[in-house]
Chain A
Amino acid sequence: MIELKDVSKTFTLHNQGSAVIEVISNVSFAVAPGECVALTGASGAGKSTLMRMIYGNYLTQAGEIRIGGLDVVRSEPRDIIKLRRDVLGYVSQFLRVVPRVPTLDVVAEPLRALGVPTDEARDRASALLTQLNIPERLWSLSPTTFSGGEQQRVNIARGFAHSYPAMLLDEPTASLDAANREVVLSLIEDAKARGAAIIGIFHDEAARTRVCDREIDVGRFTPGMAA
């Protein structure tokens, strides 16, 4: 489902003496449907960078990143947008939303974008918010005013609203209490069970052990670290 071949990434800092920083080189691996792979490595090893490259958020200088047949590295923006809408979900560590939009609509939005009727999308959003223990009185408020943990859960609800065949999870269990952590892990297990290919970053070792089938040490591909 997700396949990386000889993927490399450099940053060129034009405004800092045109310094070229090589961050990832020659990564190759694949994730099959129903499989969950953890990216590991020390801080700064490039886990999040690699995740963002797979999502198309960072530009990849060399190699191929295929998701369900589409090469993200060489695709037009509109194909990547379609991929993100239909196929590839991403739960980042940060919630980025239009201020003042109610939480319920923030969570329902991925479904609305797919053309799901408003009521149906809101029902699914309500179910997820309930499952993640966001009190109903908060649903009509914008999540921008929420605590970090609440924002994280809204972000997860939004990420799981649609049953994406491929998912990227960046620290989904960070800053969650035990009960909510359990909910998130079961959501991941459910996604795997329905055949989603998942790549995740988990600092939470117990969580990683529980849901991940394999680990890939990104440090191996980081030129600065390997030296």
Chain B
Amino acid sequence: MTEYNFAYLDEQTKRMIRRAILKGLAIPGYQVPFASREMPMPYGWGTGGVQVSAAVLTPKDMFKVIDQGADDTTNAVSIRTFFQRTAGVATTTATSDATVIQTRHRIPEEPLHEGQILVYQVPIPEPLRFLEPRESETRKMHSLEEYGLMHVKLYEDISRHGHIATSYAYPVKVEGRYVMDPSPIPKFDNPKLGDMAAIQLFGAGREQRIYALPPYTQVVSLDFEDHPFEASKADHPCGMCGATDSYLDELIIDDAGGRMFVCSDTDYCEARQTAGHKGKDAA
């Protein structure tokens, strides 16, 4: 443990990141620039989330990492191990036991409680990017609340597909002010963003942006009056635990096109199975 400073980053850097986090919490949804550091992992592997986690972790924390809901994928395992080695913090897969949860592209099914921090890995923090590539212009649009363009994106969706086909990274408006990219979580998770008891922090390493939602923040998914927002999911129960209220992954299970649907949140699914729930595909 003497090789690393606690949680890898030096104290000055953590201070700088904490300042950005505090500013982000003070202005919910606003993208705060920060001096992102080189991390010992490539961009796209959660360097933004890792820096935010490093800045908020304390020795007493219980750390959990999920990648698309799962605790056991490469990305989740490597980040969890990283902080085990560099911070010596305890880790868990149980959502309710964790104090800091770093996530890639999901919000746990189990409602979070006060005192918890959810850290998102963000690839592209700017929701207006795809329609307006100029950063100078998008910053101005944010500062002047010129968000018509965001609806142009949804309009295009409907005109092309007959409905709003954006199914992840679905844009939201925070406290009636900033339009925010919630990171590529499925839009099924969007309703959980609002009024959440936990603190939500978003870190984009390559893009050098941090933004945040303090507890119990109002978050509204953008939509049209005649095409209201819908939090959709595959219309099946989980094959393993039988849950009908959770976000499902579709698995191809043989060469004949056979498939099954299972909870993307592995902790949620396992907890249900342990409690005796059983899906139709369960062994």
Q: Does a CB–CB distance below 8 Å link A and B in the complex?
A: no
